[in-house]
Structure 1
Amino acid sequence: MPETTLDNPLKRFDITADQINHVVTVFYAQVRRHPVLGPIFANHIPDSGWPEHEDKIARFWRNAILREKNYNGNPMREHLSRPDIKAEHFPLWLGLFHQVLHSQLPEHLALSWSALADRIGEGFRAGIVSMRQPKDEPPKLF
């Protein structure tokens, strides 16, 4: 029987670890075929590194949603340290992620996860814009 928010009151919404793992696997299979995102990811993840990357990202999402506390990383630093990852890539990433969520999950779960992904993705996008802009320029707010 799946764990519910009654079983785990810290859980953001009722989804299973297996559902999260599945979405991550399907999503990254599509990322690898994406004409813009695929080459960027290929610059940083060798073919043999995908299982490890997918496991790490699934742990990130399970931590964010299920509060498993099994993710140890700094995703903002990871994105900032790769100059080929640009702010304009985040809408592409989110659009593809939303497509996968809506194709793989019941609508209520897809909407809940989409809202969380939007907040996190916008934080990464804004962080990249802010950290990469010249220090003497006014802040870019969008």
Structure 2
Amino acid sequence: MLPPRFPITDAQIDTVIAEFYAVIRNHPGLGPVFARHVTDWPAHEARITRFWRNAILHEGGYSGNPMQVHRAAEDIREPMFDVWLGLFDSVLRRNLPPETAAQWSALAHRIGRALRIGTAEARACPGAPPRLR
């Protein structure tokens, strides 16, 4: 098993995810988009918690294809990623030590960049295979 990307506890991950989705549900731009796709918030938060535990702690337990999900959601637009990441960064800074927040933020921005590129390509060339760079 790989070592964690950076030191963080399960409780810290849980706190960040819970607060982030509370913020998202109340956001005037992103809230309605998420509401169209998330029908069970507790299940969604549990799934995303597993995603981050896998991405940070290498725990496993997450199975899914975030790129496929984001590409299939036709109402997700490229500028939304900047808003999403800005909100996520705010939650990280409020809940984590500065070094941990910075490390998680860097990882989230790398993932966000990939999702932004992948969704933009899907909109530009529907049905085309993704370009691997």
**2:89 corresponding residue in structure 1:** 98
1:121 maps to which of 87, 112, 118: 112
Distance in 2, matches of 1:127 and 1:78, equals 11
Larger Rg, first or second structure (1 or 2) = 1
Deviations 1:30-82 (A, max 9, x none): 00000100000111123xx1100000000000000000011000000001111
Q: 1:112 is matched by which residue type in structure 2? A: Q
TM-score, reference length from structure 2: 0.91
Structure 2 residue identity aligned to 1:59: R
Identify the match of residue 28 of structure 2 among 8, 21, 35.
35
Moved over 4 A (4+): none
TM-score scaled by length of structure 1: 0.85
Partner of 1:63: 54
Aligned length: 126
Q: Distance in 1 between matches of 2:32 and 2:95?
A: 24
RMSD: 1.2
Report whether the alignment pairs 1:78 with 2:69: yes
Q: Distance in 1 between matches of 2:2 and 2:122?
A: 36
CA distance in 1, matches of 2:23, 2:97: 19
Q: What are the ranges of 5 or more consecutive residues in structure 1 without an aligned counterpart?
A: 1-7, 136-142
Higher relative contact order (CA 8 A, sep 6+): 2
More helix as a share of residues:
2
> Structure 1 stretch 57-66 or stretch 10-19: which is displaced more?
10-19
Q: Choose which of 109, 112, 116 in structure 1 pairs with 2:103.
A: 112
CA displacement at 1:9 relative to structure 2: 5.1
